[in-house]
Amino acid sequence: MGFWILGMNTFFDLTGKVAFVTGGGQGIGEAICRRLAQAGAKVGVFDRNASAAQRVALDIGGHAVAGDVCSEADVETAVDDVCEQLGPIDILVNNAGITGKAGKLWELSKADWESVLDINVVGPVLCCKAVVNLMRERKYGRIVNIASIAGKEGNPTLGPYSASKAAVICFTKSLAKELVGNGDITVNAISPAVIATPILAGMPQSTVDYMISKIPMGRVGKPEEVAALVHFLASAEASFTTGQCYDISGGRATY
Ligand SMILES: NC(=O)c1ccc[n+]([C@@H]2O[C@H](COP(=O)([O-])OP(=O)(O)OC[C@H]3O[C@@H](n4cnc5c(N)ncnc54)[C@H](O)[C@@H]3O)[C@@H](O)[C@H]2O)c1
């Protein structure tokens, strides 16, 4: 009682808000799209996999846009398209990311590093650049960047990935401070430990086992658990928190 009025959840309600979720076609991004849509948001589902984006968008009544987060042109076109179809973007979730090739430093090439840093770091930077002036004009915005526990701890054989996620955490803190004074705009990151999604299929089982062994709860997380935290940070109520990195690691993180 008190939580629901006429069947609508009045807490963390996103009715009237427009969200842009990168990598929304599967895994954590898909769960985020579904959760934000359930909360009332109109969701732009951006993914380089056009059919995956289309499938999710159709299911949630959102708008699919195909593109690569590393391409400034793709990102700008996608943002314009979503603004035109759904309205100005209130919520940006930078979720698209890859683990890249696993290996020790002496086993990885410059290209192995660059591909991960491009998608995981330059991608979120381009997406923020594409929406931030609109948010400044409207004096409202919520940006949530999906980092990783790897960005705090540094996982062996995942040097490029770990470094990229550390960069995401620090970029979050820098941008959050740059935006203070521009209205109610917050920028936060979250750092999941291992979550059950298709990204795990690309990792050696020994790496996955190592990651689970580090989690006090002794299990992998669910995409829906991550989506719930993103929902809170994307809501108007999360207005006095910016530049933070929220843990969602089953107790693994110690800071
Ligand atoms: N699954 C985990 O254990 C875990 C843990 C911590 C952090 N994360 C992070 O969460 C995010 C989502 O992970 P996931 O497990 O859902 O991954 P996933 O591989 O299941 O899905 C990623 C989605 O992003 C899309 N994508 C990838 N590169 C893209 C690009 N350049 N442009 C546009 N779209 C692109 C893919 O097509 C895919 O739909 C990633 O940033 C990942 O690093 C995942």
Is ligand 1 within 6 A of the CB of residue 94?
no
Contacts of residue 253, defined as CB under 8 A and 6 or more positions apart, other chains included, come to 149, 152, 153, 191, 193, 247
Q: Are strands 245-248 and 42-47 parallel, antiparallel or unpaired?
A: unpaired
Minimum-distance ligand 1 atom for the alpha carbon of 119: 31
Structural tokens at position 148: 């990783």
Q: Is 161 known to be catalytic?
A: yes
Provide the CB-side half-sphere exposure for 5 (13 A, CA): 4
pLDDT at 241 exceeding the cut of 60 = yes
Minimum-distance ligand 1 atom for the alpha carbon of 194: 3
Please state whether 172 falls in left (phi above 0), alpha (psi between -120 and 50) or beta: alpha
- The pLDDT score that the predictor gives to residue 30 is 98
pLDDT at 251 exceeding the cut of 50 = yes
Secondary element (H or E) of residue 145: strand 140-146
Report the distance separating Cα 107 and Cα 139, nearest Å: 47
Structural tokens at position 111: 């290209």
Give residue 29 CA to ligand 1 midpoint distance, Å.
Answer: 7
Report the distance separating Cα 130 and Cα 141, nearest Å: 13
- The pLDDT score that the predictor gives to residue 9 is 55
pLDDT at 210 exceeding the cut of 90 = no
Minimum-distance ligand 1 atom for the alpha carbon of 150: 6
**199 — pLDDT class (breaks 50, 70, 90):** confident
Span 39-92, pLDDT tens digits: 999 999 999 999 999 999 999 999 999 999 999 999 999 999 999 999 999 999
- The pLDDT score that the predictor gives to residue 6 is 54
- The pLDDT score that the predictor gives to residue 207 is 78
Is ligand 1 within 6 A of the CB of residue 148?
yes
- The pLDDT score that the predictor gives to residue 8 is 54
User: What is this structure's pTM?
Assistant: 0.96
pLDDT at 151 exceeding the cut of 60 = yes
Give residue 130 CA to ligand 1 midpoint distance, Å.
Answer: 20
Please state whether 193 falls in left (phi above 0), alpha (psi between -120 and 50) or beta: beta
pLDDT at 188 exceeding the cut of 90 = yes
Give residue 197 CA to ligand 1 midpoint distance, Å.
Answer: 9
pLDDT at 2 exceeding the cut of 70 = no
Contacts of residue 31, defined as CB under 8 A and 6 or more positions apart, other chains included, come to 222, 223, 224, 226, 227
Mind listing the domains of the chain with CATH numbers? 14-247 (3.40.50.720)
Which one is catalytic: 140, 161, 210, 246?
161
pLDDT at 208 exceeding the cut of 90 = no
Structural tokens at position 15: 């009715």
pLDDT at 1 exceeding the cut of 80 = no
Span 103-147, pLDDT tens digits: 999 999 999 999 999 999 999 999 999 999 999 999 999 999 999
Residue 209 is which amino acid? Answer: D
What phi and psi values does residue 249 have, to the nearest 5 degrees? Answer: -135, 20
**Are the C-beta atoms of residues 93 and 235 closer than 8 Å to each other?**
no
- Ligand 1, atom 30, lies closest to the CA of 68
**Are the C-beta atoms of residues 6 and 198 closer than 8 Å to each other?**
no
Q: What is the mean pLDDT of the chain?
A: 95
State what percent of residues in the chain have pLDDT above 90.
Answer: 89
